[in-house]
């Protein structure tokens, strides 16, 4: 995949380190993410992918390092200095977070339409007809049948729930979306359709995304760039096709040749 990049990074990460007591979660991770760019983070279980994602999304405090984000008005903010209310506002508007388990990202006891509409209300939309109309068009976009708009997601299949979670996240046109194993736990055929959908939406909306996955095929399909982690540290980073076709680090070579089960 290729992408035309803005010249200033959206997210800049410098020396991000997170310990759990004496145990390393991730150490000295640095990278820039540009608008419209999709970065995959891969590595075997315990390599620090989730820790990194949670630190970036403000769900875990850093032990050291710095994460800065370029706001819509162009101002670059140190995320550690944002207040809780500002961070929550960012999370509801300019960012999305797609969880592996849709139940973690949806309100399971409210309707599909309300799940999507709620995010619009968070950015100030109060007009019922507009909200319902946008919810309906997003449900169509993610291939949830329109006649399910008033049903709650408890009655949805795993794939439908995940598509609804994606609609809920994308309805506010976020500039950055974090995805944690977005197709994990789904049947292979459901995964393939969902991946096509995510790929098309990310490209259409021009969002940046950070996708954590243990599946190199997912990384290949979705990402422009890939970062390979081992034992909490980045061992290789580069354009996805280059890294997967010509891995330099011995660990990446093992991953690619599937000797390691990630
Ligand atoms: N809450 C915690 N308390 C203590 N150690 C933790 C905690 N969460 C993660 N760790 C440790 O941090 C390291 C990185 O774990 P992390 O969950 O980030 O890896 P991962 O690559 O996301 O793994 P998986 O793919 O299995 O989710 C591991 O050694 C793990 O045991």
Nearest-atom number in ligand 1 for the CA of 181 is: 25
From the list 163, 40, 46, 58, the residue with the least C-alpha distance to 105 is 163
Confidence band, pLDDT 50/70/90 cuts, at residue 259: low
Interface confidence: ipTM more than 0.90:
yes
Q: For residue 73, how far is its CA from the centre of ligand 1 (angstroms)?
A: 35
* Percent of the chain residues topping a pLDDT of 70: 96
Q: So where are the chain's domains? A: 11-106+176-259
Question: What is the model's pLDDT at position 89?
Answer: 85
Q: For residue 187, how far is its CA from the centre of ligand 1 (angstroms)?
A: 25
Q: What are phi and psi of 178, to 5 degrees?
A: -95, 135
Q: 67: part of which helix (H) or strand (E)?
A: strand 64-70
pLDDT in tens, 66-114: 999 999 889 999 998 888 888 888 888 899 999 999 999 999 999 999 9
Question: What is the model's pLDDT at position 6?
Answer: 61
Cβ distance 157 to 112 under 8 Å? no
Q: Please enumerate in sequence order all residues whose Cβ is within 8 A of that of 177, keeping only pairs 6 or more positions apart, or say none.
A: 95, 96, 97, 98, 169, 170, 202, 207, 208, 209, 210
pLDDT in tens, 118-153: 988 887 777 888 899 999 999 999 999 999 999 999
Q: 64: part of which helix (H) or strand (E)?
A: strand 64-70
Question: What is the model's pLDDT at position 247?
Answer: 97
Q: 260: burial class by Cβ within 10 Å (0-12, 13-18, 19+)?
A: middle
* Percent of the chain residues topping a pLDDT of 90: 75
> Does the CB atom of residue 50 touch ligand 1 within 6 A?
yes
Provide the 8-state DSSP code for 100.
S
Mean pLDDT of 215-231: 95
Taking all residues of the chain, what is their mean pLDDT, rounded to a whole number? Answer: 91
Provide the 8-state DSSP code for 80.
G
Helix/strand/coil (H/E/C) assignment for every residue in 159-202: HHHHHHHHHHHHCCCCCEEEEECCCCCCCHHHHHHHHHHHHHHH
Q: Please enumerate in sequence order all residues whose Cβ is within 8 A of that of 196, keeping only pairs 6 or more positions apart, or say none.
A: none
Helix/strand/coil (H/E/C) assignment for every residue in 10-40: CEEEEEEEEEECCEEEEEEEEEEECCCCEEE
pLDDT in tens, 163-181: 999 999 999 999 999 999 9
Question: What is the model's pLDDT at position 127?
Answer: 84
Q: For residue 186, how far is its CA from the centre of ligand 1 (angstroms)?
A: 22
Question: What is the model's pLDDT at position 128?
Answer: 84
Beta bridge partners of 236: 228
pLDDT in tens, 28-53: 999 999 999 999 999 989 999 999 99
For ligand 1, mutation pick of 20, 45, 181, 233 (most atoms within 8 Å of CB): 20
Question: What is the model's pLDDT at position 84?
Answer: 85
Fold of 11-106+176-259: Rossmann fold (3.40.50)
Confidence band, pLDDT 50/70/90 cuts, at residue 260: low
The pair of structure tokens assigned to 224 is 């422009």
Instruction: Indicate the angle between helix axes 128-141 and 112-122, nearest 10 degrees.
Output: 120
Q: What are phi and psi of 118, to 5 degrees?
A: -55, -40
Question: What is the model's pLDDT at position 85?
Answer: 86
Question: What is the model's pLDDT at position 105?
Answer: 95
CB atoms within 10 A of CB 165: 25
Confidence band, pLDDT 50/70/90 cuts, at residue 3: low
For ligand 1, mutation pick of 50, 214, 215, 233 (most atoms within 8 Å of CB): 50
From the list 39, 45, 25, the residue with the least C-alpha distance to 262 is 45
Whose alpha carbon is nearest atom 29 of ligand 1? 46
Strands 23-33 and 11-20: antiparallel
**C-alpha to C-alpha distance for 233 and 237, rounded to whole angstroms:** 11
Q: Confirm whether pTM is higher than 0.90.
A: yes
Confidence band, pLDDT 50/70/90 cuts, at residue 2: very low
Q: For residue 150, how far is its CA from the centre of ligand 1 (angstroms)?
A: 38
């Amino acid at each position: 995949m290729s992408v035309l990049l803005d010249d200033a990074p959206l997210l800049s990460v410098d020396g991000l380190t997170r310990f759990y007591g004496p145990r390393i979660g991730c150490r000295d991770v640095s990278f820039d993410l540009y608008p419209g760019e999709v970065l995959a983070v891969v590595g075997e279980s315990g390599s620090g992918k989730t820790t990194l994602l949670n630190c970036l999304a403000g769900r875990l405090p850093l032990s050291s390092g710095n994460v800065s984000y370029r706001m819509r008005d162009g101002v670059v903010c140190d995320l550690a200095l944002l207040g809780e209310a500002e961070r929550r506002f960012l999370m509801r508007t300019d960012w999305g977070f797609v969880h592996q388990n849709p139940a973690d990202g949806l309100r399971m006891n409210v309707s599909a339409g309300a799940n999507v509409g709620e995010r619009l209300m968070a950015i100030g939309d109060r007009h019922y007809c507009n909200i319902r109309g946008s919810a309906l068009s997003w449900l169509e976009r993610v291939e949830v049948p329109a006649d399910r708009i008033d049903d709650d997601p408890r009655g949805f299949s795993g794939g439908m729930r995940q598509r609804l979670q994606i609609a809920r996240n994308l309805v506010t046109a976020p500039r950055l979306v974090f995805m944690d194993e977005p197709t994990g736990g789904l049947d292979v055929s459901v995964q393939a359709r969902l991946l096509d959908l995510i790929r098309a939406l990310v490209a259409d909306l021009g969002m940046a995304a950070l996708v954590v996955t243990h599946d190199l095929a997912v990384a290949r399909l979705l990402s422009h760039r890939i970062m390979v982690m081992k034992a909490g540290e980045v061992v290789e980073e580069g354009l996805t096709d280059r890294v997967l076709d010509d891995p330099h680090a011995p660990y990446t070579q093992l991953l690619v040749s599937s000797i390691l089960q990630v």
